[in-house]
Amino acid sequence: MPLIKAVKARHYLAPRYWPTWLSLALMRLIARLPLPVLVFIGKLFSKLLYIALPKRRAIAAINLRIAFPNFDDDDIKRLTRLTVENSAIAPFEMGLAWWESEKLLSLCEIEGMEHLQQALSHNKGVIILTAHFTCLEIGASVLSHHVPFQAMYKRAHNDLFDAFMKYHRGRLFKAIVDHHKPLVLIKGLKKGYAAWYAPDQDVSGKDSVFIPFFGVEATALTAPARMAKISGSPVVPYYIQRNKNNRGYKLVLLPALKNFPTGDARNDAICINQTLEHLIMQNPEQYLWAHKRYKNRPEGAAPIYPSKRS
């Protein structure tokens, strides 16, 4: 599929879009290469990112110290490097998901599909619960070939990249839903769709509560339990990982959560967070640790991250 088929190119000819066009072209080109070559290029790119993004590297290290309090400095530094390395591979995998979906299917093994099929057999849709792993685009693309699929969507800051993302996700999924419109997602669940949902990032507002995440208070969404209650949809956790030695990917689906939701917003949010922790610990080096997960703090609590000035 030609690169420019996704958008009306004449709308994005301004010089500010030229770096994005170049990046998209590189993604498209590298996606055609064998997976070991793609991963090798990503690892080379990670060496540049490790130097160029010291603040993100520091955030990742802080989060890793929280999640692994018994690790020494060398362990944290090793995990931080692996986190940056896996994050650097992700853009090229996005190209693989967008332009080489048939190739991708041959590279991905699915374990536990019976749990998803069983959940869908109730004809009430299913909430596929996951976290922001660096190869999340791979998982969504693969699942969309097996079940009617919809996903929450947050607009990208770059208009050209946003147009490509919407086009390719819209081509693969039954629906892409603005994250401000959860009722649209619920309507899809009632039609029997599977809904990809990753509520592991920092949020604030009336739909969030402070509960522990790896032992430290962090905001958590109450929306997953509310959506499950309104739709009657089971919640099936899953995670995806890059296999060692460049042997493709493994997507693992777990049994649906039992006795969920309970009706208690705080207890349900704790259940979701504990499930997310379990998923992340299966594959910690490929999780997006560079996100400020503890940016919002309970009243009176000390900040976790250094101020911008410091």
Residue 300 banded pLDDT, cuts 50, 70, 90: very high
Residues 256/51, Cβ–Cβ less than 8 Å = no
| CA atoms 242, 244, 246, 249: torsion sign | negative
Write out pLDDT tens, residues 273-285: 999 999 999 999 9
Is pLDDT at 3 greater than 60 in this prediction? no
The confidence score (pLDDT) of residue 309 equals: 63
Of 54-58, 149-153, 243-247, where does mean pLDDT reach its minimum? 149-153
Q: Which two tokens stand for residue 208?
A: 């969030």
Write out pLDDT tens, residues 89-144: 999 999 999 999 889 999 999 999 999 999 999 999 999 999 999 998 899 889 98
- Cα separation, 147 vs 30, in Å, equals 28
Provide the pairing of β-strand 208-213 with 216-221.
Answer: antiparallel
Residue 4 banded pLDDT, cuts 50, 70, 90: low
Residue 310 banded pLDDT, cuts 50, 70, 90: low
Is pLDDT at 2 greater than 50 in this prediction? no
| CA atoms 270, 274, 279, 283: torsion sign | positive
Residue 1 banded pLDDT, cuts 50, 70, 90: very low
Residues 93/135, Cβ–Cβ less than 8 Å = yes
